[in-house]
Amino acid sequence: MDNTISLEIIEVVEQAAIASSRWMGLGKKDEADEAAVEAMRERMNKIHMRGRIVIGEGERDEAPMLYIGEEVGICTQPNAAEFCTLEELQEIDIAVDPCEGTNLVAYGQNGSMAVLAISERGGLFQAPDFYMDKLAAPPAAKGHVDIRKTPTENLKILSECLNRSIEELVVVVMDRPRHKGLISEIRAAGARVRLISDGDVSAAICCGFAGTNIHALMGIGAAPEGVISAAAMRCLGGHFQGRLVYDPAEVNTPESAKWTREGNLARLKEMGIEDGDKVYDAHELACGKDVLFAGCGITPGTLMEGVRFFGGGCRTQSLVISTQSRTARFVDTIHLTGESPKTINLR
Ligand SMILES: O=C(COP(=O)(O)O)[C@@H](O)[C@H](O)[C@H](O)[C@H](O)COP(=O)(O)O
Ligand SMILES: [Mn+2]
Ligand SMILES: [Mn+2]
C-alpha cells in the first residue's frame, strides 16, 4: 500500500466531515449521513487507487450509500493500466463510516467523526451487520485484560497495568438498557463510568492515547465500527477485542428483534464463521500487513476538534494512523472555500 495515499485519505475524511457538519444541529440525521457519504465517495473517486468497500453503509440497492462491494478510485476503470502505476493497481479494501455518530451531528452533540480504515485486499475483517461486544484498553494493558474475564477482573488488571487505583479509572459504556448490569458492576468495582449516547469508535481510540482520561471501552456496539476501531488500535498498539453477538436477547433492541439466534448463527456459517463465540483481537479484525486509519472530527471530541466555519472557509482537525509510517499524525487544516476570506483566524 502506497504510503503517500494517506495524504489523500486525510482529504477524504475532511471533505466528509465538512459536508456533514453543515447539517450539525438541524435535527436531520439522514441528511447529515448522506452529505458525508456523497463527499467521501466524490473525493475517493479522485484518488489513484483501486479500492473496494468492504464495510459500508449497506447493500447496493440502498443507494446513495457507499455500498459493500462498491469500487472506488481512478484505478478501478477498465483501462486503468494505461494511467496507473503497478503500485496503484494493487487492490485495497476500505471500511468506511462517513458519519460515525449521526445522532450526535443531528443534535449538535460532541464526539462525531468521519472515519475509514484501509488495508491491502483481505486485510480487514468483513464484519456482518451484527452487534459486537467490545473491550478496548490502553497499550499497557494489551494482552492482560481479556473480554472473557468479568469486568471486575479486568478493572483490577487495568489498575495494575496503569499503576493507578480502580477509583482512578474511567470506563466508557454506551448508554443502553442492555448495559444495566455492566454499568452496575463497573460502579460496584469502584471505577467511574462515562455514558455515551453514540460514537463508540471515538471512545475505543481514546483508550490508545494517555491523557484522554478514558481507560477502557466496555459493552456492545455495532460490529462494523468494531473493525474500524480495531484498525486504529492495531496501529496504536492498544488492546481491542470483539465478539460478535448473535443472540438477539443479549441486546434486545428494535433492530435485533428482526433476527433470531438460529438465523444469525446460520448467517455466520454462510460467511464461513463456524464459531459464533470466537473472540477476535485487533490483529484478526485488521490483519493486513499495512493498515491505516483516518478520522476527522465533525463535532468536537476528546481527540479532535470539530469543523469550525468562518466567513470564506473552515478549519478541520484529523487523525491519521498507520502501521506503515508508524505515526499518529494530527492534521490541522484550513480550507479556503470562498472568494477571499476577510479573516483567517488561527485561534
Ligand atoms: O453510535 C453509533 C452509531 O453509528 P452511526 O449509525 O454510524 O451514526 C456507533 O458508534 C455504535 O457502535 C453502534 O452503531 C450502535 O451501538 C448500534 O446502535 P444501537 O442499537 O443504538 O446501540
Ligand atoms: Mn457508526
Ligand atoms: Mn454512520
CATH code for position 51: 3.30.540.10
Is residue 213 in some structural domain? yes
pLDDT, tens digit (0-9, with 9 covering 90-100), for 325-341: 999 999 999 999 877 77
Position 1 pLDDT exceeds 80 = no
- Does residue 81 sit in the same domain as residue 110? yes
- Does residue 151 sit in the same domain as residue 270? yes
Binding residues for Mn(2+): 33, 57, 97, 100, 225
The pLDDT of residue 199 is: 98
Claim: this prediction has a pTM higher than 0.90: yes
Higher pLDDT, 344 or 231: 231
Is residue 345 in some structural domain? no
pLDDT, tens digit (0-9, with 9 covering 90-100), for 284-294: 999 999 999 99
Mutate to test the pocket of ligand 1, among 200, 201, 205 (most ligand atoms within 8 A of CB): 200
- Does residue 252 sit in the same domain as residue 157? yes
Taking a C-beta distance cutoff of 8 angstroms, is the pair 308, 315 a contact? yes
- Does residue 43 sit in the same domain as residue 97? yes
- Does residue 116 sit in the same domain as residue 93? yes
Is residue 111 in some structural domain? yes
Task: Give the total number of structural domains in the chain.
Answer: 2
Q: Would you say the CB of residue 134 lies under 6 angstroms from ligand 1?
A: no
Is residue 42 in some structural domain? yes
- Does residue 236 sit in the same domain as residue 106? no
Q: Would you say the CB of residue 198 lies under 6 angstroms from ligand 1?
A: yes
Q: Would you say the CB of residue 281 lies under 6 angstroms from ligand 1?
A: no
Which residues in 197-231 are b (16+ Cβ under 10 Å) and which e?
ebbbbbbbbbbbbeebebbbbbbbbbbbbbbbbbb
Counts of helices then strands in the chain (DSSP H, E)? 11, 14
- Does residue 186 sit in the same domain as residue 326? no
Q: Would you say the CB of residue 322 lies under 6 angstroms from ligand 1?
A: no
pLDDT, tens digit (0-9, with 9 covering 90-100), for 12-22: 999 999 999 99
pLDDT, tens digit (0-9, with 9 covering 90-100), for 22-53: 999 999 999 999 999 999 999 999 999 999 99
Phi, psi of 12 (to 5 degrees): -65, -50
Mean pLDDT, the chain, integer: 94
Is residue 343 in some structural domain? no
At 72, the pLDDT band (50, 70, 90 cuts) reads very high
Position 210 pLDDT exceeds 60 = yes
Domain that includes residue 13, residue range: 4-121+290-336
CATH code for position 163: 3.40.190.90
Is residue 28 in some structural domain? yes
Q: DSSP secondary structure string, 280-307?
A: EEHHHHT--SSEEEEEEESS--SSS---
- Does residue 305 sit in the same domain as residue 186? no
Average pLDDT score over residue span 245-251? 95
Position 151 pLDDT exceeds 70 = yes
C-alpha 144 – ligand 2 centre gap (Å): 28
- Does residue 179 sit in the same domain as residue 315? no
Strands 131-137 and 91-100: unpaired
Indicate which residue's Cα is closest to atom 8 of ligand 1. Answer: 101
The pLDDT of residue 279 is: 98
- Residues 6 or more apart whose CB falls under 8 angstroms from that of 4 comprise none
- Does residue 139 sit in the same domain as residue 117? no
Is residue 33 in some structural domain? yes
Position 250 pLDDT exceeds 70 = yes
C-alpha 261 – ligand 3 centre gap (Å): 25
- Does residue 246 sit in the same domain as residue 170? yes
Q: Would you say the CB of residue 200 lies under 6 angstroms from ligand 1?
A: yes
The three cell numbers of residue 222 are 455495532
- Does residue 139 sit in the same domain as residue 268? yes
ipTM higher than threshold 0.95: yes
The pLDDT of residue 152 is: 98
Is residue 17 in some structural domain? yes
Of the given ranges (12-16, 91-95, 159-163, 311-315), which has the lowest mean pLDDT?
Answer: 311-315
CA distance 324 to 244: 28
C-alpha 198 – ligand 2 centre gap (Å): 8
